[in-house]
Amino acid sequence: MSTHPLEEILNPKSIAVVGASEDPNSQGNRFTKCLLDCGYQRKIYPVHPKATEVLGLKAYPSIRDIPDPVDYVISCIPASAVLGMLDDGSQNGVKCVHLFTGRFSETGRLEEAELEQEILNKARKTGIRLIGPNCLGLYYPRLGISFMGDLPRESGSAGLFSSSGGGSGFFVHLAALRGIRFSKVISGGNALDLNESDFLDYFSQDPETKIILMYLEGLKDGRRFVNSLKQAASVKPVIILKGGKGESGMRAAASHTAALGGSTQMWETAVTQAGAISAESFDELADLAVSFHFLPPVWGPRVGVTGGGGGHSVVGADECERGGLDVIPLPTEMREEFKSRGVPIWDWIGNPVDTSITGGSGLTGTDVLQMMARNQNFDLLIAIINEHAPAGREGIIAGHKTEVKGIIKVKKESTKPLLAVVSEKSTDTRNHSYWRWKDLSSVRTKLLAGNIPIYPTTERAAKAAGKLVDYYRKRRQQ
Amino acid sequence: MSTHPLEEILNPKSIAVVGASEDPNSQGNRFTKCLLDCGYQRKIYPVHPKATEVLGLKAYPSIRDIPDPVDYVISCIPASAVLGMLDDGSQNGVKCVHLFTGRFSETGRLEEAELEQEILNKARKTGIRLIGPNCLGLYYPRLGISFMGDLPRESGSAGLFSSSGGGSGFFVHLAALRGIRFSKVISGGNALDLNESDFLDYFSQDPETKIILMYLEGLKDGRRFVNSLKQAASVKPVIILKGGKGESGMRAAASHTAALGGSTQMWETAVTQAGAISAESFDELADLAVSFHFLPPVWGPRVGVTGGGGGHSVVGADECERGGLDVIPLPTEMREEFKSRGVPIWDWIGNPVDTSITGGSGLTGTDVLQMMARNQNFDLLIAIINEHAPAGREGIIAGHKTEVKGIIKVKKESTKPLLAVVSEKSTDTRNHSYWRWKDLSSVRTKLLAGNIPIYPTTERAAKAAGKLVDYYRKRRQQ
């Protein structure tokens, strides 16, 4: 537990859901159900003007009527009712209100923007802090707080602040499939009161958070953010996806979270100078989260690549170079070792290791991976799962089993950064359960269980690894 | 049927598999089984020194012993036996030998390169044409010829020439999941005799082939290729992935298919000047194939984007701009129509259409998509499937059904290019059949059945669409 003022706010002893109801299509119902289903063990108070019970919990007509103090409020009522609700809350010790309630400045309308400002003023007067408005609020799996029913229950080490609610749910699922779990996720919407800098400061000293991820559409206070970013990036990796970099994206950001964009150039400079890392898409945000989570520091760009067939080796080498990696020729001492072991293709095999030529050579791709792990010329390793070896179903499945076992062995024996590439597929209903794609799922399961990060393409693995090389190079220079 | 000399070679009336055997782990067995399983209706002759039968077919000790003429030979015997086999073949009218047999110049060894040259000389003397060596040869689904047991049986309109065998199998599966089927695929390996230019010429006049795809590691004759490319690109879209652009990739290409790389800069210039299209990865090759297959000409960059939640709309707008598209503001006449229909968010909703704000407005994302389809300010449309709408399982599944139905309706009513975005997932065994990801498979099934191309990300859809805009702009200028 930290002593940061947000710590108390994010650890409420009781939560009231204002606008809770029995209607399963209402967000008030969903938030209440989420707290029940996700195992929030403390007090939950549904608030509804008439209902005496919601989802089996005693309901109250207003916050004022709740007999015990309420720490945290989830507001699902219309914008026009928020001021009154804040008054009620201030009489019952409310520390923080998460305003799911939207339709404020993001509408681009003066009246709504003015109401938003009044709400901020009221919050300041009453001492109530606000998350939002126009957001999904908090996902804190350790405490059983969630904004979506099927996000992972287990806790992890990634902290996320996101301007987008749906985007944060999408991202939590996306990253979870790649082995990432979260300490806390805050969907912050318009960030009227508590903003990106507050949560960045919080994450930077939160012992539960090892990697800080942000999806930002705008900044409430650029100068403060740059300072917070410098501080945070000096202690933990901070990876930021900035939405609204282009003209149309900026327009969309304004209408989504009332965000004001700045110059993209200034943004990139600020991120780089602070020692943080930029991502260009939700996918890249996930790739970088995965890389920092699973990999030790990557001290250089010299990569050994194994496992691809011919085509994937050639294209993979190009993709590694584009990612800033250096696909060095196979070191002489490795060739000499092949020769002394009587490997007939000792002078032919290269880096990347084309596993379509190793058959019958007495040498497997994994053997070479193991030797690369021991060889000091390599800074990191990429193992591509070769999907289309010339074999039948049983041969391919058995081949992958052996391959994965070998990769996990290398990972256990070596501290060298090791990335695995397993492709994703656009399956339709008919072939969703086809053996090839189910087998890839099984490969992923085993690699993740072996703490090996997986990437859908060599291109993405290389791009992420290249950014890690840059990151650690800069840190070493500091 | 065309009158191109390759037409006869690619339509053999009989095929001998030299090196066929009962051993299921041998490639000779696999090729024979493929012909049987994939429905090759003409004569198949296994050739084996001792066996009298292979997979239920009468086997012969050599090609010379086959009582009937043999058109096409698949060679799975060691390199050292090829010269003799060519002699045998020439006595039995063989027109073409596909040399799966490898270990020639790609090994980087002088002796092997010399043997390869002798084989070429012998082929020239005997008049036998060669595919390969070091390749998987032909996949021609209409005729039942295949080099992998589980490639689609149905025929299609994409022709592929690939330097890589495993890569071509991988690609056929990848593209098949996206709705692409093939006329013919040639894995050409070292392209000793018949090379990329021969097949490019062939595809260019093959009525079965509407789109030409190439994965190339090197060129046998650069000048000829540039001429063939110009000619082919003037009649059909030609999309090329060049492997071995970087230093290490070039090294890998030499050891994979003995390819000699040239300057990347010269390559890009040649492709652009010929009016062909460059792809940077197998994924992009698939994205472009999908785009040309499903889409009508895209005459301009002005895109309407719908269906994303807030975050995906903002990031999607950026991704569209990076792809060269122009996410124009919503036209005034559309806003006026919203207003006249009493849509309360008439002044708020924009392009991209953030579907997280349309709920209860009397307007769905699909309504807007339909209006965009009718509005002449838009050149193309991108519909993002919003995965993380705030709803439970039933709500999301039902929402997707309605959404997809709407998208298909728009597609039916309009000739405007329409692309759909459905994300891919790195599922593991436990969540492979999770309802969210199975539902996405169902969404893909329906969109493909509606002839709507699907892309895993807005970034990839936009990048592909941007290249189509360039392509058609250039063609219009010609």
Phi, psi of A443 (to 5 degrees): -60, -45
> Is the CB of residue B427 less than 8 Å from the CB of residue A178?
no
* Distance (Å, whole) CA A44 – CA A21: 13
Number of Cβ atoms within 10 Å of the Cβ of A474: 12
Summarize the confidence of residues B183-209 as an average pLDDT. Answer: 97
What is the model's pLDDT at position B51?
Answer: 96
Q: Are B255 and A354 an interchain contact pair (Cβ–Cβ within 8 Å)? A: yes
Q: Which pLDDT score, from 0 to 100, does residue A261 have?
A: 66
Compute the 3-state secondary structure of chain A and give helix, strand, coil in percent, each to the nearest 5: 45, 15, 40
Query: Distance (Å) from the C-alpha of residue B259 to the closest C-alpha of chain A?
Result: 11
Say whether residue A172 is in contact with chain B using an 8 A CB cutoff. Answer: no
- Higher-confidence residue of B1 and B152: namely B152
Q: What are the pLDDT digits (tens) for B51-86?
A: 999 999 999 999 999 999 999 999 999 999 999 999
- What span, in angstroms and rounded, lies between the C-alpha atoms of B5 and A209? 67
Residue B230 has phi, psi (to 5 degrees) of -60, -45
Beta bridge partners of B215: B162, B241
> How many Å lie between the alpha carbon of B234 and the closest alpha carbon of chain A?
27
Alpha-helical (H) ranges within A178-281 are: 196-205, 222-235, 247-257, 264-274
CA angle, A315 then A318 then A319, to 5°: 85
Q: Do B243 and A315 make contact, defined as CB atoms within 8 angstroms?
A: yes
Place of tokens 């609020």: A137
Q: Does A25 touch chain B (CB under 8 A)?
A: yes
Among candidates A426, A431, A454 on the partner chain, residue whose Cβ is nearest the Cβ of B456: A426
Instruction: Assess contact for B115 and B99: CB atoms under 8 A.
Output: no
**pLDDT value of residue B357:** 85
Q: Of A163, A161, A159, A110, which is closest to residue A134 (Cα–Cα)?
A: A163
Residue B54 token pair: 């292979």
To the nearest whole Å, the CA of B12 is away from the closest chain A CA by 24
| CATH 3.40.50.261 intervals, chain B | 135-294, 296-477
Helix (H) or strand (E) holding A396: helix A393-413
Residues in chain B with CB shorter than 8 Å from the CB of A422 are: 426
**Chain B residue closest in CA terms to A175:** B426
Contact at CB, B167 and A388, closer than 8 angstroms: yes
Using one digit for the tens of pLDDT, what is the confidence trace for B230-275? Answer: 999 999 999 999 999 888 888 888 888 887 767 778 888 999 999 9
- Residue B133: asked if its preceding bond is cis (omega within 30°), the reply is yes
Q: Say whether B436 and A314 touch across the interface (CB within 8 A).
A: no
Residue B279: the pLDDT is 97
pLDDT tens per residue, range A237-278:
999 999 998 888 888 888 888 877 667 788 889 999 999 999
Domain with CATH 3.40.50.720 in chain B: 1-134
Given a contact cutoff of 8 angstroms between Cβ atoms, the answer to whether A126 and A89 are in contact is yes
What is the pLDDT of chain B when averaged over all its residues?
95
CATH T-level topology, domain A296-477: Rossmann fold (3.40.50)
Return the number of CB contacts < 8 Å for A and B: 315
Structure tokens at B90: 């020439």
Q: CB within 8 A of A449, min separation 6: which ones?
A: none
**Residue B39 touches chain A, beta carbons under 8 Å:** no
Interchain proximity A311–B169, CB inside 8 Å: no
Contacts of A473 (CB under 8 A, 6+ apart): none
Average pLDDT, chain A: 95
Q: What's the confidence (pLDDT) of residue A357?
A: 85
- The dihedral built from the CA positions of residue A251, A253, A257 and A261, taken in this order, carries a sign that is negative
What distance, in Å, lies between the first and last C-alpha atoms of chain A? Answer: 30
Cβ distance of B166 and A433 shorter than 8 Å: no
Nearest to B313 among A25, A252, A281 (CB): A252
Q: H or E segment at A280?
A: none
Q: Can you read off the two tokens belonging to residue A390?
A: 């010339």
B23, B104, B171, B315: best mutation site toward chain A, by most A Cβ within 10 Å? B315
pLDDT for A390: 83
What pLDDT was estimated at residue B390?
83
- CA-CA-CA-CA torsion sign (A393, A399, A402, A408): negative
Mean pLDDT by 10 residues, chain A (478 residues): 88 98 94 96 97 97 96 97 97 97 93 96 98 97 96 97 95 98 97 97 98 94 94 98 91 84 81 96 98 98 93 95 97 95 92 88 90 98 92 92 96 97 96 95 98 98 98 90
Say whether A207 sits in a helix, a strand or coil: coil
Contact A188, A136 (CB under 8 A): no
A43 touching B (Cβ < 8 Å):
no
Residue A302 has which token pair?
A: 């010299």
The CATH number assigned to the domain with range B135-294 reads 3.40.50.261
Q: What is the mean pLDDT of residues B442-459?
A: 98
Architecture per CATH, domain A1-134, reads as 3-Layer(aba) Sandwich (3.40)
In this complex, is the C-beta atom of A388 within 8 Å of any C-beta atom belonging to chain B?
yes
Residue B177 CA to residue B170 CA, distance in Å, equals 11
